[in-house]
């Protein structure tokens, strides 16, 4: 057999940089920015009471732990097939073993994935039986966190612009050529406005993906199976929810560290 070039090397490096950049730079940066710049000024200008401050700090910490925790667990939990199954299944020519029903071979990961949902290029791995919970909840918590961040960043940006000129600034962010028309140099308030726009963009991105994946979870189908309406079963939504989020699903949705074992049924249906 002739040597094969590593076709996915650049994609592999890009995915790694993307992942470590998001986990160790982007998410902590957003958290530190909100807690050290936006939050203290809002507290001072809006005269927020001590009780409200404690509630906000708890909410910000809750968002941070759930976003970063679910992201890290999505990577750490491995859904690849380690050994052949005995009983009902199909034979994989690539792995040369019998895999359970609903398991598929991933060409990028080069392994069979148990209850394969899809290959996520952002995580650089497949989403399957053991990491789907964390993947879906990561999207849900990004959506909630960005909605919350948009709420108070809106007040922050409004204060900076004093209610005037923000629309023109937004145009200039996306079209730097406007600086020839607007002589005033860009400043901090333009950067704050850019963060607010990013907040809204992330709500749209995570909200759309969360809607799609959570709907599939409730219907009991994977992303591939969602093409076939006859496989969807909304009447079993409670059991479908447990099959992805585990028996303690109510704890799983508020804390990624909480154990929520999958029911035995989840591995075969
Ligand atoms: Zn395989
Ligand atoms: Zn894969």
- What is the Å distance from ligand 1's center to 52 Cα? 53
Whether 107 maps to a domain, the answer reads: no
- The whole-angstrom distance between residue 237's C-alpha and the CA centroid of its chain comes to 22
Is the separation of the CB atoms in 267 and 114 below 8 Å? yes
- What is the Å distance from ligand 2's center to 169 Cα? 42
- What is the Å distance from ligand 2's center to 87 Cα? 25
Whether 74 maps to a domain, the answer reads: yes
- 194's CB contacts (< 8 A; 6+ apart) are 173
Whether 144 maps to a domain, the answer reads: yes
Report the domain count for the chain.
1
CA gap 122, 137 in Å, rounded? 15
99 phi and psi, to 5 degrees? -115, 155
Instruction: Label the pairing between strands 104-106 and 125-127.
Output: unpaired
Instruction: Label the pairing between strands 118-120 and 90-92.
Output: unpaired
At how many degrees (to 10) do helices 132-161 and 237-245 cross? 90
Residue by residue, what is the 3-state secondary structure of the chain? Answer: CCCCCCCCHHHHHHHHHHHHHHHHHHHHHHHHHHHHHHHHHHHHHHCCCHHHHHHHHHHHHHHHHHHHHHHHHHHHCCCECCCCCCCCCEEECCCCEEECCCCEEECCCCEEECCCCEEECCCCEEECCCCHHHHHHHHHHHHHHHHHHHHHHHHHHHHHHCCCCHHHHHHHHHCHHHHHCCCCCCCHHHHHHHHHHHHHHHHHHHHHHHHHHHHHHHHCCCCCHHHCHHHCCHHHHHHHHHHHHCCCHHHHCCCCCCCCCCCHHHHCC
Whether 86 maps to a domain, the answer reads: no
Whether 94 maps to a domain, the answer reads: no
pLDDT for the residue 6: 52
Instruction: Residue 61: give the domain boundaries.
Output: 9-79+115-267
Question: Would you state the structure tokens that stand for residue 165, as one six-digit string?
Answer: 């000129």
Whether 85 maps to a domain, the answer reads: no
pLDDT for the residue 1: 44
Whether 87 maps to a domain, the answer reads: no
CA gap 122, 43 in Å, rounded? 36
- What is the Å distance from ligand 2's center to 266 Cα? 20
- What is the Å distance from ligand 1's center to 93 Cα? 7
- What is the Å distance from ligand 1's center to 168 Cα? 54
Question: Nearest bound ligand to CA 104?
Answer: 1
- What is the Å distance from ligand 2's center to 182 Cα? 48
List average pLDDT for each run of 10 residues in the chain, which is 269 residues long. 56 75 82 86 86 90 93 92 80 90 90 93 88 96 94 87 75 74 74 89 94 96 93 91 94 94 74
Whether 106 maps to a domain, the answer reads: no
């Amino acid at each position: 057999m002739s040597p094969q070039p590593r076709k996915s090397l650049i994609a592999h490096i890009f995915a790694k940089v993307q992942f470590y950049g998001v986990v160790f730079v982007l998410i902590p940066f957003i958290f530190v920015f909100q807690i050290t710049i936006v939050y203290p000024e809002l507290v001072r200008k809006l005269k927020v009471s001590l009780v409200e401050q404690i509630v906000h700090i708890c909410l910000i910490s809750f968002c941070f732990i759930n976003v970063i925790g679910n992201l890290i667990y999505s990577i750490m939990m491995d859904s690849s097939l380690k050994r052949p199954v005995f009983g009902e299944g199909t034979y994989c020519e690539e792995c040369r073993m019998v895999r359970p029903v609903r398991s598929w071979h991933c060409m990028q990961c080069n392994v069979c994935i148990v209850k394969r949902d899809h290959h996520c290029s952002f995580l650089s791995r497949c989403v399957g039986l053991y990491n789907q919970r964390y993947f879906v909840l990561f999207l849900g918590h990004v959506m909630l966190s960005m909605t919350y961040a948009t709420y108070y960043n809106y007040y922050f940006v409004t204060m900076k612009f004093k209610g005037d000129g923000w629309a023109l600034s937004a145009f200039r962010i996306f079209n730097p050529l406007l600086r020839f028309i607007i002589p005033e140099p860009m400043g901090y308030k333009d950067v704050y406005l850019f963060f607010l726009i990013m907040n809204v963009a992330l709500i749209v991105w995570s909200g759309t993906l969360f809607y799609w994946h959570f709907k599939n979870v409730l219907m009991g189908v994977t992303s591939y199976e969602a093409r076939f309406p006859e496989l969807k079963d909304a009447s079993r939504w409670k059991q479908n929810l447990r099959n992805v989020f585990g028996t303690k699903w109510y704890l799983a949705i508020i804390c990624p560290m909480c154990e929520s074992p999958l029911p035995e049924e989840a591995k075969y249906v």
